[in-house]
Every structure is written in structure tokens, then in C-alpha cells.
Chains A and B, each alone.
Chain A
């Protein structure tokens, strides 16, 4: 990077890409070329910067200027002003919502202040398609250190001592997992990277793979050395084309540099990696299902034991770790177990990446030290609930997790505390909900997801979850009874107790946590036939307040089913039997006369 005066990094995360960041990149390159600055200015597509809410983001180094909400047509001004004249483009800088001041350096933004980037350390700082940039930021240093100065057992000890736990969600100690695989005696072993990220709205692993693919390649090689495997496989969903593309480049470059392949760094250690594409089944994130899918079999879990460390891919000892887990490995090796274990809480060390989404001001990808409270995440990093609405719940752990409420906001984020509060760490989905979200409907959404994604192997998950969904559907349609609520809870407990794999055993969690935390809302749906959030269409109606209606006819003209009638300048009325509850009338009414009842 040093050979250029300026490095312009354009966010290549999927969010920014869908907001035309590729065109921004192209325009910036054109401008740089037009000004004959190619030798001084490098424009690259970097990994995700995390602050998706303010995307597309362009960062200019070395002065670390963070431009937000950039449009393709801004390229000319950015080059002319920032690069040529050295003046920052004020209008594209982030404005602090409190002080209304322009902030040019991301580290002064509330969104980044409380974050600590370990797994995401390189995302947004380098060109992921250029191995030299990774190496210049310390990439492959850990692999060199391990291969030349450490025995496999010493390395496993470091990982154990660091306290790193599986970031896929279950939190199993990584070093112990490696130790199991290393102790399995076999002529062939495998290292598998689980990149089958499937939680709705989660994109932690994708961002790491897109922004820093070499960290995964390096970590897998280290793992291979530790457990005695020379073959690595990355199981990645085919819906992640950019991540696949970048991994392919990273693997190719690593081979060219002698960092993969035979006799790595002249140490006699051989290791190579191939990609396997998943077809997007959520259950294939479960390690036994993932292994079956890689083998060309139906992606469904099998009973453990035997654990993959004993009999995994092709019945050989296999170590499966998630992307984020691997991303932590190289830095633990270079900075040491003591450094890593100094971060976080007693039982949960290091940091955790979350995809912060929902009704929150700063939607994006964040990484916080374990022990950070939910309140800090929601209100400080996340900037609070959108549009000044009232906070209702935060959902962690995706379809396997639970909904936590106001009373849980001071819960520190670590595996044990989240579980104690009734949710789970999960792989890193975090969705904030406000007063407009109906918790019964949310539970139904997650159960619908599970019904779609269950592999159908075991009875409780195949039929039980379907029955749970049907009961929830009944409740949201105002047909539920108090007995249904009892049955729902009972069935949820049985499914939790009897399902075969992690997916099934955790699938009732969204229902159980909402039943616990939002019992009143369930009862309202059942007894009063009312949805306070106005989300359950069958339980609400749009009505025109005659005191407010001016008879402007706008609603009648926009209604797609002609359900609204009335004469000009007279209050209108909605024919409830025709109304499809689309909400168009409410959105077009200038007098707030349309009310939800």
C-alpha cells in the first residue's frame, strides 16, 4: 500500500454493492485516470466497513477519512477536492446525530467507539484480492510462527489457553475440539470451515470472507498442522458469489506464494484447500449435516457420537469450525493467548461479531468485546431505536435464539448470560424490535423459517414444529384459545427435549422466550382478539376518523380494491368486507385520518 500516496477504499460489502458501490469504484478509477493520478492513487474494492446504515462508504487513506452515503456521481468531487486539493468533502462526512458536527475519522463515531475489531481486523483496510496487502498487515505471520517454532500440541495449548469458543453459536472450546481431532489416529484427517451462514439477516461470515479471506486460509492451515490434516474444505453457500470469488483468488495466491500446497514455507508441511458449495439449506450449518452434504448425501444431521473428530467427512477424523472462529486464530497466535484472554468475561473470551439489524438507527456489522451489554450495543453503537419509537425487544441467535426485553438490556453479551436470560449467543444475528412489532407474529415468522428449513428427519422437528406454526397462525388470526397457549408451551418443551439435532432442539426458543416475556400479548390475541402492534392483519382494521377526514378523496382514489367511498369534502368510509388491509389509504392520507383499530 505504501507505494501510493492515497488509497481509496470503496466498500465491497453486499449492502454497499447493492447501492451501486461497484459504479462508485468505476467512476473513481475513471476520475483518477482522467487526472493522470494512477501512479499516486490506488482505488480498491475493500471488504465490509460495517456501517451499512450509512453506505455506500468510501474511505481515503492515509488520513483515514470516512465518507458516507456516497453516490456514483460524487466520484469527481472526491478526486478533485480530497485528492487533488487536499480538502475534505464536508457534505459527505458523517454527521453526529447529537452534536450535529461533521466527523471525518471513524474512530470518533459512536458506532465504532465501543467496538473492538479482532475478527474483522482487516475488513475494510485492505484489498482482499491482493495477498501482498494481507501480508503487509501481518497475514501469514502466524502460520510461519506455528510451522517454524511450535509443535502442534504447543499451538493447541495456546488456543486452549486463549479461551476461544466456537463462534457458530454453541460455544464449544475451540482448542479442546482441535485436541480431540489431533488425538484421533488416522492416516487421513480433514479441516472443514463452516461457511454455511444461514440465520436470517446475518452476514458476519460473509463479510469476513469477502473482506479478509486470507485469514481463513491461514487459520485452516494452522489447524491442519495442529490436528495432522493436509486437506481443508470450505463449505460455502452458493449464494455468496463474491465470497467464493475472493476465496478462490486467495487460495490461488496462497498457493503461488507457497503458503498452501506441498512443503509450505520449506517446513515439509503439506496443506491445501478446496471449496464445496452448499445449496442454501439452513440445516447444513449443523456439522454432521454439513459433512453429509459435502459427501454428496442428503444434508441431514446424524446422531452424535460419533463426533466428527472421530468419524467425520468420509468417516475420517474431521475438525469443523465456523468462519469467525477461524478468523480469530492467526491473531491469537501472533499476539498470544494472554492478550486474547484478557479481553472479554471470565468464561467468554475475546470479541463477537454481530449483524445488527431491525428497528435501529445504525444498522451494520459490529464487533464488540464479550461482556459488552445489550444496552451499549442498542443505544450507543446502534444509536437507539429508529424514529424515536419505543424499544420492545432484541432478538439474538436467529431462529434458535430468543427475544430479550427492556429488563434484560443490561445483560452482558457472553454465552452463559444470554442463555440464562432465555436466548443464546448464536452465530451473531441481532435484531432490534420496536412497538410496531407483534411478538406473536415474530414467533410465527421464526417458526415459519424453521418449518421451511427443517430437514424433516426426526418427528418432533418435522411434525411438531409444523403444529407449533399452525397454532401460532391460528392465534394471529384471532382463532386461538387459552388451551392453544398451554399446548404451544407444552409442545415447545417436548420438541426441545426430543429433537435430534441442534436445529430442532433450539427451534422452539423464539416461541418459548416470547411466551415468557410477552405472555400478555399472546393473551390479548386470544382473549381480546387484539394485536397491539397492528401487525396481525386479521386482528385489525383501518378506519377513517370522520373528525379528521376532509373528504379530499385521495384515499378512495388510491385504494386498489375500491373499498373506500364518500362524497367530496365529506368524511369517507371504508367497506370492511372489501378492505384488504394493504395500508395504502393510511400512507396517502395527509390528515392522519386513517386509524388502525
Chain B
């Protein structure tokens, strides 16, 4: 590899050609503060607009200070990262940012986790020299995401996620000069944009400009209401990330502590979305086999590839962008929305509670789930199957509010019957996991043989788009996997053009899958964290006694007692859905 030699702060260093000053310095133990820069190298995502100017450094023989993030190291370069000129400039830049930022840290949802707050503290800023007009915008509250644009620092991270990574195009810079801000087109509310609520903008926002809708207050009120039975389901990806909020290393599996904490908070029953994930496999896997069977029997009208439909942001994405293809995804609801009707129709009766008195809460790594549970098709006479959803971050806040010493909690199990799950359900949390879980079941149902090698390693990984051909006892099954909506778009365009010969495709809206979801603990640009959650997910699967969904005894019991058969009439009614054409946006320009 070609390298270049340069001097940073009197230190001789050698780095690969093309390395930025910022990365060269950090790799050599020299800290340069930054704000707009973001590098999720494991996911191939980089935001490098060079716009905040916090990372400026002095490069000898250059007239102006250079942004370390965007300036490439060149042979013989002499860089100073801490000269007086640099320190003054850097401090002034941060002061300027603060001069146009509401100083309401006490009430800010990002307080304590705000990168601007950290910078101000680091530089010891106690006084703003250049005071003046402050930007003031209308607050925008969508079902999932709150935009408090007064706090926008124009780092453009959200824009990179929304446009380059997700290709959603809901957010971009509008207006000029002091009035420049990131917003949907025509400064409309998010609800009127093609936003999928994936929450990747929230996941990278360094300040409180983009945050999730907070449901913790609502939950505490419901818990305190004696007429209500409040139950909870918790998603697979939560258990490999929640520990980070309590100082545990990324990738720590906290399933047992999680169940204990939820019980201490006061949920009457602590269930697991993993149970519903197993149910999803039964429904989606059966649908796959039905379509595949017809196809193999020569029916060319059958819609293939079948696409997974567990990700609500992904559903929003194709409803907005590919409504012509909306008969391709599986009609199976997401695990969250399978859990809801089972709880309200099956479990409620079991415990003798009226549907309207049963409050179903979900803990999700996701912000789109907040929107999803409010969709009309998931309500019965106005009563939602899932009442509301909290993110992993909100749960962490809640645990702290309840004075629970999370690290010291004993482990406990989820409650029966909706708490039992398999390893197949656990891996729903990572990209490639749903399709692997589906294949474990589909293989046995299709071939009638026992699956010897449970781990489909060929389906795993963090590469943007992956494909593999599985051998179903002589029948090749071609699988495609994409995570991140930009990658999904590539696959969908192939499908639209008829150039796609996959039989099944898994799509997750968030890079990495749900483990990298918009509701997860903030990674602050460290993609090692996402990799650790990824590894933990498969670790948890490996440790499960049962690793195939159709072997879950409670699932078998549920079909026997209540549902009948997968894709049967009751299943169809309770566990499947339809999709809508949302390509026309409801925009009114004042």
C-alpha cells in the first residue's frame, strides 16, 4: 500500500495514501475535536461535508486553516492541531454555533449525550462573545420523530443518512445564509414528506434537533391506572444493546436483566417479541413455500421474489417509492403487529381481561414502530393492537427513573405463553437474520428432512447487498439481502426491470438491521458498536436450546388452540395485512 510521511504536532507519522489528517491524527493518539464528521466504516457510511469547521488545523504553507476531516495527508505535510491560531479559531467556531443554539440543556432530550454540549464543556466555554439573533422554527412532531430545528447545527449527517444512505430524500438543506436549515421540501412537516421513520437521522444527529417521540410519561400513567393491565413485548435487538446505556460493553447480552427490569417497572406480563418473530416465520415461511410451490409447478403468474415485511420503515419506503411492486412483499405483518392481535384476541381472553383494558406496549430498537402501531389497519374499532412503542433509549431512561441498578439485576425469564422463543427469532435483529430464520423452517417444511447445518453462514455479514444460493435438497433457492434503504432501492429497481432472479429477498431499512435501528443507544459514529451487537445476536442464537421457529412448543400450541394453520383464515385476518400506494404526497404550500 502506498503511504505518505508527514508531521503532526512534531510527531513523525506514516499513513496510507488518501488518509485524512483527522483519521491520521486519531490513529496516532492525537485528538482533534470534530462535529459534522461521521464515519461508520463497517457500514461504508461517511459524512464529510467539511462544514462545521470545528476540526480545523494549521497546515504549513497553507493560507487558511484546513478542515482535518476533509484534508488528505500529503507527503511532507507539517500539521499543527493545537497552535494558538487553531485553538482561537476552533473556540470561536464553537461559540458561534452556541450563539445560535437554544441554551435549554436542562429540558433537552439530548442533554448528556449531545456532541455540541460535549464540545462546549471540553473547551470550557462559559461565555458567548458574539451574541445575536437566534433562529426560531416551528417544532415538527411526527408520529415517530420530533424535529426541533432551532437546534440544528447544519452538520448534514441526517441529510447524508436520508439521501445518500437511505435514498429517501425527506430531509435536505433549505434556505440560505443564516436561515439555512435542514428540513423536508418546502419546510413541510415530516408527515407530509416521504419519510419512512427509519430514524437513522435521529441516530446520527449530534444535538437535540432530531429526537424520538417520547412515550415514557404515557406509560407511567398507564402503569399507575388500576383498571388497566399493562403488558410488554420486547424486540430481539434490544437485548444486545440496552446494556450500553448502563456502561456495559457493546454486545453484552442482557436478556435476563431486561426481563427483571421490565417486571420491576410494573408490567403485569413481560413477553417477548421473539415469540411473535417465530410466528412471523410460520406465516411468512408458509407464504414463501406456497408461492414457491406454485412457481415450481409452472405457474408463471406467481409473484416472486417474495420479500420480507417485518420492517415498518421498509414498508413505508416501498409504499412511497415502489407502490407498483406492493404485491411482492409478504403480506405477513411485522412481529410487533403479530404480537398485538394475539395478545388482544387470544391472551386477553385467556386471562379474562377486556380488550380495551389491556395495554400492549412494545420496546423496540426502532422509531418506525411508533408510526406502525398507529396505522389504521392495525386497530379494531379505534383500539390499536399495540398501544404504543418505546425505543431502547426510552426504556433506558425509564429504568434510570425507577432507580433500578441495572447492572446488578438478577436474570429472570419472560412470562409464558408469549415469552418463549427460539434462536431463529433472536437473529431477526441482524441483517440477514429473518431470511436465515425463514430458511431454517422452510427447508424442513419443503424437503421434509431435518436440517443438519442450522447456521447459514452464507447469509450473514455486514456487506451492503449480499446474495447466496441455498440447496433445498436439490432445488436451488436464490436469496438476496439488503440493509439500508439505498441498497434496497437497488434490488427493487432490478425487480422492477425484471432483472432479478431471486426467490426471496430480505430487506431491513437500517444499516446492520434492527441492531443499528434508529431507537438504539447512540453509537456516536463508532461502528464497532454495531459490529459487537451483530456478533452478540448470533451468540444468543447459538445458546438457545431450540433454534427453529416451527419447533417452538408455544407456537405449536397457539396454532392448535387458536389459529388453526399457518396462512389459514384466522391467520389471514389477524396476522396479515395489505399495503397502500403513498406515492402522492399531501403537500400544501402556503
B-binding residues in A (CB < 8 A): 281, 283, 298, 300, 302-303, 305, 450-467, 470-471, 487, 490-491, 494, 496-500, 505
Contacts and interface: CB of A to CB of B under 8 A. Distances in A.
Contacts of B67: 303, 500
B180 A460 contact: no
Contacts of B89: 494, 497-498
Contacts of B217: none
Given A459-B52, A462-B177, 18 more contacts: A281-B176, A298-B173, A302-B49, A303-B67, A452-B176, A455-B177, A456-B173, A456-B176, A459-B153, A463-B96, A465-B177, A466-B100, A466-B177, A490-B92, A494-B88, A497-B64, A498-B89, A499-B53
B290 interface: no
A95 to B, nearest CB: 47
Dominant secondary structure at the A interface: helix
Contacts of B72: 305
Interface of B: 49-54, 56, 64-65, 67, 70-72, 85, 88-89, 92-93, 96-97, 99-100, 129-130, 132-133, 153-154, 172-173, 175-181
B130 A500 contact: no
B172 A298 contact: yes
Contact of B53 (A305, A450, A459, A465): A459
B177 A452 contact: yes
Dominant secondary structure at the B interface: loop
Contact of B99 (A453, A458, A463): A463
Contact of B133 (A455, A466, A487): A466
Contact of A455 (B56, B176, B181): B176
17 contacts: A303-B67, A453-B176, A456-B175, A456-B176, A456-B181, A457-B154, A457-B180, A459-B51, A459-B96, A462-B154, A466-B132, A466-B177, A487-B130, A496-B64, A497-B65, A498-B53, A500-B51
B187 to A, nearest CB: 14
B183 to A, nearest CB: 12
A241 B262 CA distance: 69
Nearest to A487: B129
A259 to B, nearest CB: 39
B53 A458 contact: yes
A283 B93 CA distance: 21
Nearest to B177: A454
A211 to B, nearest CB: 32
A465 B99 CA distance: 12
A382 B92 CA distance: 43
Given A303-B67, A500-B51, A505-B64, A456 B180 contact: yes
A455 B56 CA distance: 20
Nearest to B179: A456
A283 to B, nearest CB: 8
B434 to A, nearest CB: 35
Nearest to A282: B176
B56 A498 contact: yes
Contacts of B64: 496-499, 505
Contacts of B173: 298, 300, 456-457
A497 B85 contact: yes
A458 B52 contact: yes
B92 A491 contact: yes
A497 B87 CA distance: 12
A46 to B, nearest CB: 37
A579 B133 CA distance: 28
Contacts of A298: 172-173
Contacts of B54: 459
A458 B132 CA distance: 18
Contacts of B97: 459, 463
Contacts of B132: 466-467, 470
A300 B159 CA distance: 14
A463 B51 CA distance: 12
Contact of B130 (A453, A458, A491): A491
A451 B129 contact: no
Contact of A498 (B93, B175, B178, B179): B93
A457 B51 contact: yes
Contacts of A464: 92, 96, 130
Contacts of A490: 92
A494 B177 contact: no
Contacts of B180: 454-457, 462
A595 to B, nearest CB: 35
Nearest to B98: A463
Q: Which of B56, B177, B181 has the most CB of A within 10 A?
A: B177
Nearest to A464: B96
B49 A457 contact: yes
Contacts of A462: 154, 177-178, 180
A451 B177 contact: yes
Contacts of B93: 459-460, 494, 498
Nearest to A458: B51
Nearest to A473: B132
Contacts of B153: 459
A298 B54 CA distance: 23
Nearest to A468: B130
Contacts of B70: 303
A463 to B, nearest CB: 4
Nearest to B58: A497
Nearest to B172: A298
Contacts of A491: 92, 130
Contact of A456 (B133, B172, B177): B177
B167 to A, nearest CB: 14
A451 B176 CA distance: 9
A470 B177 contact: no
Nearest to A304: B70
A504 to B, nearest CB: 9
A457 B155 CA distance: 8
Contacts of B129: 487
B178 A494 contact: no
B154 A456 contact: yes
A500 B176 contact: no
Q: Which of A283, A458, A467, A505 has the most CB of B within 10 A?
A: A467
B85 to A, nearest CB: 7
A500 B96 CA distance: 15
A458 B53 CA distance: 7
B575 to A, nearest CB: 44
Nearest to A483: B129
B96 A454 contact: no
B77 to A, nearest CB: 13
Q: Which of B52, B89, B176 has the most CB of A within 10 A?
A: B176
Contacts of B49: 302-303, 457
Contacts of A460: 53, 93, 96
Nearest to A450: B177
B15 to A, nearest CB: 17
Contacts of B99: 463, 467
Contacts of A466: 100, 132-133, 177-178
Contact of A500 (B50, B92, B133): B50
A220 to B, nearest CB: 30
A284 to B, nearest CB: 11
A305 B175 CA distance: 26
Q: Which of B49, B51, B93 has the most CB of A within 10 A?
A: B51
Contacts of A281: 176
A456 B178 contact: yes
B523 to A, nearest CB: 24
A453 B181 CA distance: 15
Which A-B residue pairs are the 10 nearest by beta carbons? A456-B180, A454-B177, A467-B130, A303-B50, A463-B96, A470-B132, A466-B178, A303-B70, A494-B92, A498-B53
A449 to B, nearest CB: 10
B130 to A, nearest CB: 4
Contacts of B92: 464, 490-491, 494, 498
Nearest to A457: B51
A426 to B, nearest CB: 17
A295 to B, nearest CB: 13
A554 to B, nearest CB: 42
B318 to A, nearest CB: 25
